Structure 1
Amino acid sequence: MDKQNLAEAVAASMWTEDEATRALGMELKEIAPGRASLSMTVLPSMTNGHKTCHGGYIFTLADSAFAFACNSHNQRVVAFQCSITYLAPAFEGDVLTAAAVEVTVQGRSGIYDIHVCNQDGARIAEFRGNSRTIKGVHIELTP
């Protein structure tokens, strides 16, 4: 199985188990080795007292893209540190897209950058995730 097909198979496997991502109405737009893109429409229930998207939902969207990107190599990977910088508000009805890209992987540790934009391409947030590979794979491959 080539790397792209493996990334797609891993994403399909993860998707069926990821209740939180599906429950928030996220859509997997792109998957490739070390890359993922997910989108989500800001619903009324996702807004705060300022009538903007609650930062926790933006973080969750970025974190989900991070998860799909860092697990795309068929190794089980978890986050061990994440940070986010909010640049602009998002509003009800906005379609947010989080695009994750692998910056580096050294041994069991990785760094991923995730850019969150709205439907007009305006940057909403920048997220950086540090990953740690743990034991196990998503899909057992036979030689």
Structure 2
Amino acid sequence: MTNEESTQQIPVENSQQMAELTAAAMFASDATTQGLKMQILQVGEGTATLSMLIRPDMLNGHKTCHGGYLFTLADSAFAFACNSRNQVTVAAGCSIEYLAPGREGDLITATVTEQSLSGRTGVYDARLTNQHGLLIALFRGKSHRLNAEVVPGLKLKEE
């Protein structure tokens, strides 16, 4: 690849298209999200919604969903939300509060919303619910933006 090719601009129409293209690129190389059969339901600037079906191999000794799987779902949704502007962004810290058990066959949905974005730091909240709307967990992630693009050259068109 020549230096000219590596700096080529790829214009996108709006922030929604930016989020969708960035999410597609991330998903294509995200073995964890794919391996757990998570589905991206929605992405937008600073937001993402992913779902995951609780399988028998995700159950703990109490026959409820292992908390690590719920955390992973929330963390994946958090990643898609905080990288939605095509700026490589990583987790600086996360926490989760488990409120109700996930059960085999439940479809858990994690909906992430950006709460704050200042400088290179963001704060994002996720609500995890089951198919009946029952609140399963609350997650909070703090992000740190690096100096790189998820999809090199992907930029909003100038007006």
1:134 is paired with a residue of what secondary structure? strand
Distance in 1 (alpha carbons) for counterparts of 2:49 and 2:31: 17
Structure 2 match to 1:112: 124
Structure 2 match to 1:95: 107
2:149 is paired with a residue of what secondary structure? coil
Q: CA deviation at 1:141?
A: 2.9
1:141 aligns with 2:157: no
1:11 is paired with a residue of what secondary structure? helix
1:130 is paired with a residue of what secondary structure? strand
1:9 aligns with 2:21: yes
Unaligned runs of 5+ in 2: 1-11
TM, length-normalised to structure 2: 0.88
1:130 aligns with 2:129: no
Structure 2 match to 1:44: 56
1:48 is paired with a residue of what secondary structure? coil
Moved over 4 A (4+): none
Q: CA deviation at 1:138?
A: 1.3
Distance in 2 (alpha carbons) for counterparts of 1:52 and 1:110: 32
Structure 2 match to 1:78: 90
Q: 1:63 aligns with which of 75, 97, 102?
A: 75
Identity of aligned residues (%): 51
Distance in 2 (alpha carbons) for counterparts of 1:141 and 1:76: 12
Larger Cα-atom Rg = 2
Number of equivalenced pairs: 143
Q: CA deviation at 1:107?
A: 0.2
TM, length-normalised to structure 1: 0.98
